[in-house]
Structure 1
Amino acid sequence: MPLTSEVVRANRTRISFAMSQFTVPLLARTYHAFGGDMVAALIMGEIAHRNVEHWLADESNSPAPLEDPAVRLSMMRPCNALSIADACGLPRETVRRKVNWLIERTYVKRSDDGHLYLTVNAGDDFDEMTAQNVQAVLDTADRLRRILAQTPTASCA
């Protein structure tokens, strides 16, 4: 069954509940992983996305070069505080402060020309959280498929 606005509307309550069962724990895990600093988490995520989106968008590209310090930066797309501020809709000064916080924690490095890159060890502190997030995505997708497969008829809606 195609996902249309009518199908979503007919299942809105169950869809919203399933999504909140995913989203609320995701936000809580992120909050705790970043010591309550959700803005730093957002900024780190945007830096990571900007750095690797071009390379990983081609599914035939191996992620292995991203783990090799000798070639890593040549595979990554650079970004700066201004581009991150624009992408996140945040003041540049806020981004600058949070980037410094991320640098102190060795999640991000700033090159001599001011470009921002995720460090090779940036994900080390998040492996368990990532595993939980992936499992939660899969569970939520299954739950949503079951909900959508049982779309009520107009008389039951």
Structure 2
Amino acid sequence: MKKPVVYEPYSRLIAHSIAEFVLRCAETMEGSFNNDYEMTLLFLAISTRNEHHVMNDPELRERYASFDEVIPSSLYTPVSRLALSRSTGLPRETVRRKVAAMIEMGVVVEDKRGGLCIRQTIIEDFDPEAVLEPQLRNLRRLFSVLSETGALE
């Protein structure tokens, strides 16, 4: 039996705005990975998983919410290739090949605890202004569209 579709007043606008937001985010990052969207997606999945514990712990989040202080790699949560395949929907073989390329590029490392982490020096050399400014504009645009239409209420 088919589930009934729930119609919210702004459901199409919200879906469109989120899709546009995601595509704009990918566009601003894909140049770092030779225009490879799958590698971009994997980088985001790895870095998000690595920082998951920190960003969900109120005390740690307060300390590391900005880029003023580097999160120690000991606080990272490594992620397995299988978990990446499951979370991104990419085939395991694709994840394996892309991760191998990212390791070769020096962006990702095998963690001694098992799993993958973003290489610490990538984060230490990170220029937040250059990378985040386009993302911040993109986020402001998303909230502006949703706020102006009343979709957030």
Determine if the TM-score, normalized by the shorter chain, exceeds 0.5.
Answer: yes
Q: Structure 1 residue 39: deviation in Å?
A: 0.5
Does residue 86 in structure 1 map to residue 89 in structure 2?
A: no
2:55 is aligned with 1:56: yes
The aligned residue for residue 37 of structure 2 is: 38
Is 1:140 the counterpart of 2:142? The answer is: yes
Count of matched residue pairs: 140
Q: Describe the shift of the 1:101–1:125 C-alpha distance in structure 2 as closer, same or farther (beyond 3 A).
A: farther
Distance in structure 2 (CA, Å) of the matches to 1:96 and 1:42 = 14
Aligned structure 1 segments of 4 or more residues deviating by more than 4 angstroms? 14-21, 123-126
Relative to the length of structure 2, the TM-score reads 0.73
Quote the residue 1:122 is aligned against.
122
1:96 is matched with 96
Unaligned 5+ runs, structure 2: 1-5
Which residue of 2 is the match for residue 67 of structure 1? 70
Query: 3-state SS of the aligned residue for 1:6?
Result: coil
Alpha-carbon shift at residue 83 of structure 1 (Å): 1.6
The residue identity in structure 2 corresponding to 1:75 is L
The Cα of 1:95 is off from its aligned counterpart by 0.9
**C-alpha displacement of 1:18:** 5.0
CA contact (8 A) 2:73 2:120 kept: no
Structure 1 residue 114, shift from structure 2 partner: 4.4
What SS does structure 2 have at the residue aligned with 1:129?
Answer: helix
Q: Is the 8 A contact 2:107 2:118 kept in 1?
A: yes
Q: With structure 1 as the length reference, what TM-score do the two structures score?
A: 0.71
Q: Secondary structure at the match of 2:117?
A: strand
Q: Which has the higher contact order (CA 8 A, sep 6+)?
A: 1
**C-alpha displacement of 1:15:** 5.2
Residues 18 and 88 of structure 1: is their aligned pair in 2 closer, same or farther, counting only changes over 3 Å? closer
> Which amino acid in 2 is paired with 1:56?
M
Alignment-derived partner of residue 153 in structure 1: none
2:108 is equivalent to residue 105 of structure 1: no
Q: Structure 1: where are the runs of 5+ without partners?
A: 150-157
2:78 touches 2:114 (CA, 8 Å); kept in 1? no
- Tell me if structure 1 keeps the 8 A contact 2:78–2:113: no
- Structure possessing the higher radius of gyration over alpha carbons: 1
